[in-house]
């Protein structure tokens, strides 16, 4: 029998979050043009509110290596507990596995 999941969340990489001027206000006086940050932000699609965020990598924009996330995260139930885990790789050569609450389950380095 197939098991269906009711998913009411959107998993998004952080690249476009601060394009919204309302979200940009959260940072106060920080000049985000000097930094590159990668994170996972999960939104509740019913309430359109942020459920949680998990910062991943941070770099300066002037460095040789920047903290980019080039692809969408993958969601899959890795451990069979009925909850979707989140897998994402970053330009730092890091591969993150997060649980459905954003807690780090595993971190691998590939270079």
98 class by beta-carbon count within 10 Å (0-12 exposed, 13-18 middle, 19+ buried): buried
The answer to whether position 100 is within a domain reads yes
Query: What is the domain-level CATH number for residue 80?
Result: 2.40.128
Supply the range of the domain harboring residue 59: 9-109
Asked, for residue 3, whether it belongs to a domain, the answer is no
Per-residue pLDDT of the chain (111 residues; tens, 9 = 90+): 344 444 554 554 445 667 788 878 888 888 878 888 888 888 888 888 888 889 999 888 888 888 888 888 999 999 999 999 999 999 999 999 999 999 999 999 876
Backbone angles phi, psi at 13, to 5 degrees: -75, 165
Looking at the domain assignment, is residue 104 inside a domain?
Answer: yes
Please check whether residue 83 lies inside any domain of the structure: yes
Residue 72 within a domain: yes
Residue 29 within a domain? yes
2 domain-assigned? no
Domain count, the chain: 1
Question: Model's pTM, two decimal places?
Answer: 0.73
Answer yes or no: are the C-beta atoms of 86 and 73 closer than 8 Å: yes
In a domain, 18, yes or no: yes
């Amino acid at each position: 029998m197939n098991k269906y999941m009711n998913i009411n969340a959107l998993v998004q990489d952080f690249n476009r979050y601060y394009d919204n001027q309302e979200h940009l206000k959260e940072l106060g006086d920080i000049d985000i043009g000097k930094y590159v940050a990668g994170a996972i932000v999960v939104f509740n699609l019913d309430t359109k509110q942020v459920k949680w965020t998990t910062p991943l990598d941070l770099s300066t924009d002037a460095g040789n290596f920047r903290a980019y996330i080039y692809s969408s995260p993958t969601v899959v139930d890795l451990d069979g507990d009925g909850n979707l885990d989140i897998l994402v790789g970053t330009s730092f050569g890091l591969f993150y596995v997060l649980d459905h609450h954003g807690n780090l389950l595993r971190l691998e380095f590939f270079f």
